[in-house]
Chains A and B, each alone.
Chain A
């Protein structure tokens, strides 16, 4: 099921790469699921771990930093996974990695809205 969701999502935004079927067969799924988990863990660390432990990392600036860090990790993860599977980099790989970074940011925001109410110090972050 994830394979279908991620294939459709990535192909919708970054277009399909007909000449390299590995993306559909392997990469989309191998990147999509871990990205989802990475974002969920990062948001949980921000809101449920740090956000409930001590008021040290809860401001909007901290949230933006975490979001950008997550996006960079998602970009890097997508790029290295695709590169390991396919063996050579091309413009599609960059586009796909960038889309994964943006996708992780959107996911980060959505999960933030859901989880912030469970936080103590970050329940008004980002708004």
Chain B
């Protein structure tokens, strides 16, 4: 049974987890029985750099897959999803829905009328009615004016298009209008009974923690969606934020309040959401790293963190779970994630078998491909495969530029951020040669009487494999589809590298 999965990434953390998911799916992590995965990024902070970066990565993924992925068939003629970019990560508009209002070809769900303050949003015509008076609103929300020194605490005068600044009490009001958005209505119309929904949010911020329960409420209140398999990831605190240094209206987010917010939200979830979800994943870490204070906007560009990547594995686990594991009515299954050994620096050795096989192995393959494309290809310009596939196009064709950006900026940037964050996730030595590329496992160079008999993943080995694989691929993939040949070439060459590596390092090595 083939189904679609809709993934709602709410707020900055939701976007960052979807970013990690994009990288893992680009690496070829396999999803069972899946036709399309439709990420929907929900963030009212229109300029949030985390969200913008995720959207760019998603768009690059989609463009690369469209041009270069070859759907392989098994003996029965059914598609076998395998290799890099094998998951059809696509936009809502890619679904063909009769009678539905046309929507933008975008991964983002856009709220209307948020270019204003909270008070103008809830009372646009300034005509408070019935029992709702200004005094009543002042009792609920802080209304410090912009001229006041304490403006950072304002709630009623907070600009909504800059995010909720850690105020879920404001967010839940805005998210009440979610059902009016045409993108949400499109989801409601397009979803089939076998499809699944997964929601990713943080529990300690403003947007995610308010959007998550509202979205559950909407889904469970919709006859068409009520019985859909529903999963969620709740990301609990895993970083700290430096104290605010400048006065102003960009909120007053304090990491000291994260635990209290988390506790309050968990209490709410246990009372009101238990049984409404089929699976609820939790992930957190002892906050070590302190990020600079950026309450949203284009300055909020937090580096990727291991917790976000582990969060992305929750999405994969949920999609791959067979129906019978999620079928218990009114019972929510809870999942946590653990690593083999506590350490400040994590690499392949720290993961249990499922993660190692399903997530880390594809990640290693894609990283080999990235390394070969970025570091080795420029040295191989005199090779026949390079002249055939890349020479005329690499600097001018949009596909090659997109691939270079995805590998060089999105993927490598993501790996670098993971390695530089705390706790570190450093499975690769990005600046080393391929023989020392995998942390914890060096490929030995074998010599007999001082003569090298096996140089491992040497430049000559890579050249030979690239040449021979391309020569074979040329027989089955014609010149007009060179992009497909290039992706297959990277795929198969990475597999040859992995054969030499033999297996990922483990704790016992």
Residues of A within 8 A of B (CB): 54-56, 58-60, 119-125
Contacts and interface: CB of A to CB of B under 8 A. Distances in A.
B464 interface: yes
B382 A120 contact: no
A124 B467 CA distance: 12
A120 B387 contact: no
A61 to B, nearest CB: 9
Nearest to A122: B384
Contacts of A60: 382
Interface of B: 382-384, 387-388, 460, 463-464, 467-468, 471
A119 B467 CA distance: 10
A119 B464 CA distance: 13
Contacts of B382: 59-60
A51 B468 CA distance: 10
Contacts of A56: 460
A106 B383 CA distance: 25
Contacts of B384: 58, 119-125
For A58, A120, A125, the residue with the greatest tally of chain B CB atoms inside 10 Å of its CB is A120
A8 B349 CA distance: 75
Given A120-B467, A120-B471, A121-B467, A55 B460 contact: yes
A54 B464 contact: yes
Contacts of B467: 55, 120-121
Binding site secondary structure of chain B:
helix
A122 B471 CA distance: 11
B390 to A, nearest CB: 12
Nearest to A61: B382
A56 to B, nearest CB: 7
A59 B381 CA distance: 11
A120 B383 CA distance: 10
A59 B383 CA distance: 8
Given A55-B383, A58-B384, A120 B460 contact: no
Given A55-B383, A121-B383, A121-B463, 11 more contacts: A54-B460, A55-B463, A56-B460, A58-B384, A120-B468, A120-B471, A122-B384, A123-B384, A124-B384, A124-B387, A125-B384
Contacts of A54: 460, 464
5 contacts: A55-B464, A59-B382, A60-B382, A120-B468, A124-B388
For B384, B387, B464, B471, the residue with the greatest tally of chain A CB atoms inside 10 Å of its CB is B384
Contacts of B463: 55, 121
A124 B383 CA distance: 8
A55 B388 CA distance: 16
Nearest to B465: A55
Contacts of A58: 384
B347 to A, nearest CB: 32
Contacts of A59: 382
A60 B384 CA distance: 11
Contacts of A55: 383, 460, 463-464, 467
Nearest to B463: A55
A58 B383 CA distance: 8
For A54, A59, A119, the residue with the greatest tally of chain B CB atoms inside 10 Å of its CB is A54
A116 to B, nearest CB: 9
A54 B466 CA distance: 11
A124 B464 CA distance: 15
